[in-house]
Chains A and B, each alone.
Chain A
Amino acid sequence: MAFDQTAETELRLIQQAQDGDRSAFGELVRRHYTGVVNVVYRLCGDAGLAEDMAQEAFLRAWLNLPSFRPESSLRNWLYRIAVNAALDVLRRKTEEPIENEKKQMVTDQAPGPEAAVIAKEQAAFLQQAMKSLPEAARSVLVLREYGELSYQEIAAVLDIPIGTVMSRLNYARSRLRELLKTQVLQMEYDYA
């Protein structure tokens, strides 16, 4: 019941925003901001950049909103725009170093209990490992793990067949597992 009301409210907001209502669009952004910014952060690994990408994605969404079909999923549509916006930015920034990332790595090296340090190192390593994945595989993995989309939804968002979603996800997880195993071995060696 509550879900129906939420969906109904969202549909009304979408129609108002399509008619040019900025406050209705603002409410839609408020609802989907966390999901979108989290997905783009996992794609790029930088919080500041992720906020910029999210802003770019919502601006594109605003401009294209009149062509959006309200009966389809707004969240999936926004994810599609966000992933494309993020990949565009990443392609432009491929060779540029990211300052925030360096700061993050410095923070991670702060002293503390050994378990916490290991966890932080592992999280930082994981983010780096994610970035080492090909864009196509990373996008599928991020939409599954952080966007919590079904295979069918991922296929629709990225406009690829479900079989491709499955094979890319398999590749991404297998690759990450290999990298993590290597890292665990390295850490065991370092702390021995």
Chain B
Amino acid sequence: MHEDMRTLLNAYMDNELHGTRLVEMKLHLASCEACREELKDLRQVSDLLQAAPSPEFMPAERFVSNLTLNLPRRALRDRPPKPGSLAWWLVPAGLMLAWFFMRTVFTLSGVVTVADATGLLGSADWLSGGQQAIWFEAAMSAFDGQAGGMQSTLAALNDVNILGVNLFEGFLWQAGIVLLYWGWLAAWWLQRGPRPMKVMAGPFHS
């Protein structure tokens, strides 16, 4: 018999097969005499192991008394932050809040800029800080002498603050928050329990 098949028979006996693998195994066993015999032998070994008598050990009370008398002094250490505690979950919540805050600020800023560019806010001189001057001048120089359509497009983009430093700052902020969130996610992944069982592939033949 193939070793993979025998391994799967062990898993079946130990109730470790689930879903499709379990159904496949049941169907296979219904038609394979050799595997049924193998399973019977495996169960016999397991039953024998389970039935093996245990000796009489020291009573638990006495064991505990002896042990607690011998417990050495232990240096108390600060426990690491406990996943599941309020502080632990405040980290992603805080990051989400920071993200929402920054998005709101940048969106409002964009809306105000567009409103100003279209004249909705009247003559609000305090809004035109010339932050896009460097980008705008550079882009205009690059397309100097080309079709006027490109320059007018750049001018329009400049008006709505697309080429402005705000876009770059916004990206930086979001990237930073995303990185911090990933860091937290990685920490959560590392501290979580054992990984789920992978389904083992193997042929269903003897």
Cβ of B119 within 8 Å of any chain A Cβ, yes or no, is no
At the interface, is chain A mostly helix, strand, loop or mixed?
helix
Determine if B70 and A152 form an interchain contact, defined as CB atoms under 8 angstroms apart.
no
Considering the complex, give the chain A residue whose CB is closest to the CB of B3: A170
User: In the docked arrangement, what's the CA distance between A39 and B85, Å?
Assistant: 34
User: In the docked arrangement, what's the CA distance between A34 and B194, Å?
Assistant: 25
**Contact-size category for A:** 35 or more
Please tell me the number of chain B residues within 8 Å of chain A, measured between CB atoms.
49
Which residues of A are found within 8 Å of B194, using beta-carbon distances? 152-153, 155-156
User: In the docked arrangement, what's the CA distance between A123 and B50, Å?
Assistant: 10
User: In the docked arrangement, what's the CA distance between A153 and B16, Å?
Assistant: 12
Which residues of A are found within 8 Å of B82, using beta-carbon distances? 69-71
User: In the docked arrangement, what's the CA distance between A20 and B10, Å?
Assistant: 43
Cβ of B11 within 8 Å of any chain A Cβ, yes or no, is yes
Interface segment, one of B28-36, B71-79, B110-118, B164-172:
B71-79
Determine if B41 and A177 form an interchain contact, defined as CB atoms under 8 angstroms apart.
yes
The verdict on A33 contacting B60 (CB below 8 Å), with A19-B76, A63-B74, A170-B10 known, is yes
Cβ of A89 within 8 Å of any chain B Cβ, yes or no, is no
Cβ of B57 within 8 Å of any chain A Cβ, yes or no, is yes
User: In the docked arrangement, what's the CA distance between A160 and B97, Å?
Assistant: 40
Which residues of A are found within 8 Å of B49, using beta-carbon distances? 126, 141, 145-146, 176
Determine if A145 and B46 form an interchain contact, defined as CB atoms under 8 angstroms apart.
yes
Determine if A177 and B10 form an interchain contact, defined as CB atoms under 8 angstroms apart.
no
- B residues contacting A by CB (< 8 A) are 3, 6-7, 10-11, 14, 16, 41-42, 44-46, 48-58, 60-61, 63-64, 66-68, 70-72, 74, 76-77, 79-80, 82-84, 191, 193-198, 200
